[in-house]
């Protein structure tokens, strides 16, 4: 028998089946989610963080159970989804948001402007289409800071996160001084205290448009980061490598790189790697004082583990 599984929730159609077999289920050992199962979770609470030409830009917020904004301000983590700067959706990080909310963070996943071919064609020569996504990312971060009191968020303990193109967007939004929406509220910057990145999509070609080339904005004292890559994600791992080498050499900052041996791009969307990356991110944020206690996920019985990269790990 196989029951549909949901993280921190389920739909009503499963209830009668679960209750029927509950005594049997309680007698069974806990089994990890099957390998290569794509993760998902129920939605969070939707907010509009701005409107552009009458179109809403939305994000979803996941609150810790029993969170009382008037009584406590907790760290927040803001995710930007991948999809090649032209696709994807914020639901891609709903699983991670649910987990971090269960660990005491306010977790946010953002919808931002995607780059269509028509929009890209309007750009001046030499400008990357990737820049179109960044102003919304900055607006979302500013919105979280502006609404910190209502959300119960400590704006000084904000964590930027993202996967693939969203990893690139989160890096640029929190480091590049340009690409701001002129309608954003004054008095709120986009600085963050830490970063959690899933195979961020950086490329040597970004250098042609300095505003979206993260390595040019990476400075001493940059927020600490943990980064995850599959060893077979050859192209993007190669694009990441110069940034990693520069980051490791900077004073006053740190970056951790963990490798999923034999895995390709976007491996973190599937089990067991979804949980393994969350365990590592949890431990990383714990060391920084953003979380307390041990991760509430378990290592898979199948034995997979992330491997810390050393200085000689080949791109």
Per-residue pLDDT reduced to its tens digit, 11-65: 343 334 334 433 333 333 333 344 567 898 999 999 999 999 999 999 999 999 9
* DSSP E strands, 143-254: 153-163, 194-198, 225-230
Helices 94-102 and 273-287, packing angle to 10 deg: 40
Report the pLDDT value the prediction gives residue 224, as an integer from 0 to 100: 98
Structurally, how many domains does the chain consist of? Answer: 1
Q: What is the pTM of this model?
A: 0.87
Is residue 98 included in any domain, yes or no? yes
* Residue 312 pLDDT level (bands cut at 50, 70, 90): low
Residue with tokens 């940034």: 243
Question: In CATH, what number is assigned to the domain containing residue 96?
Answer: 3.40.50.1820
Residue with more model confidence, 118 or 218: 218
Domain membership flag for residue 185: yes
- Residue-wise pLDDT for 195-238, tens only, equals 999 999 999 999 999 999 999 999 999 999 999 999 999 999 99
Task: State both tokens at 126.
Answer: 């030499």
Identify whether 134 is part of a domain: yes
Number of helices followed by number of strands (H, E) in the chain: 9, 9
17 inside domain = yes
Residue 69 lies in a domain: yes
Mean pLDDT of 272-276: 98
Quote the distance between the C-alpha of residue 183 and its chain's center.
25
Cα Rg of the chain (Å, integer):
20
Give every CB contact of residue 301 below 8 A, 6+ residues apart in sequence: 31, 32
Q: Tokens 């005491």 identify what position?
A: 104
- Per the structure, the complete domain to which residue 101 belongs is given by 12-308
């Amino acid at each position: 028998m196989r029951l549909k599984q949901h993280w921190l929730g389920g739909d009503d159609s499963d209830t009668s089946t679960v209750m029927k077999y509950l005594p049997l289920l309680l007698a069974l050992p806990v089994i990890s989610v099957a390998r290569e199962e794509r993760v998902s979770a129920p939605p969070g609470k939707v907010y509009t963080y701005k409107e552009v030409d009458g179109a809403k830009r939305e994000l979803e917020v996941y609150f810790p159970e029993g969170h009382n904004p008037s009584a406590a301000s907790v760290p927040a983590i803001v995710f930007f989804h991948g999809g090649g700067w032209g696709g994807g959706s914020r639901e891609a990080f709903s699983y991670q948001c649910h987990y971090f909310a269960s660990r005491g963070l306010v977790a946010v996943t953002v919808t931002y402007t995607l780059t269509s071919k028509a929009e890209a064609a309007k750009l001046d020569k030499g400008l990357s289409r990737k820049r179109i996504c960044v102003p919304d990312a900055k607006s979302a971060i500013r919105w979280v800071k502006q609404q910190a009191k209502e959300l119960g968020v400590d704006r000084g303990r904000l964590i930027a996160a993202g996967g693939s193109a969203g990893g690139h967007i989160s890096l640029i939004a929190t480091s590049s001084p340009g690409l701001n929406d002129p309608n954003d509220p004054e008095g709120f910057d986009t600085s963050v205290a830490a970063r959690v990145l899933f195979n961020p999509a950086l490329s040597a070609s970004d250098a042609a448009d300095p505003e979206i080339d993260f390595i040019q904005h990476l400075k001493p004292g940059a927020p600490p980061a943990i980064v995850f890559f599959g060893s077979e994600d050859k192209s993007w791992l190669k694009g990441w490598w110069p940034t990693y080498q520069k980051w490791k050499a900077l004073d006053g900052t740190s970056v951790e790189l963990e490798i999923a041996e034999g895995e390709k791009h976007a491996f973190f969307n599937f089990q067991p790697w979804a949980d393994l990356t969350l365990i590592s991110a949890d431990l990383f944020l714990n060391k920084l004082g953003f979380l307390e206690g041990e991760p509430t996920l378990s290592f898979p019985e199948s034995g997979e583990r992330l491997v810390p990269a050393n200085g000689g790990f080949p791109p």
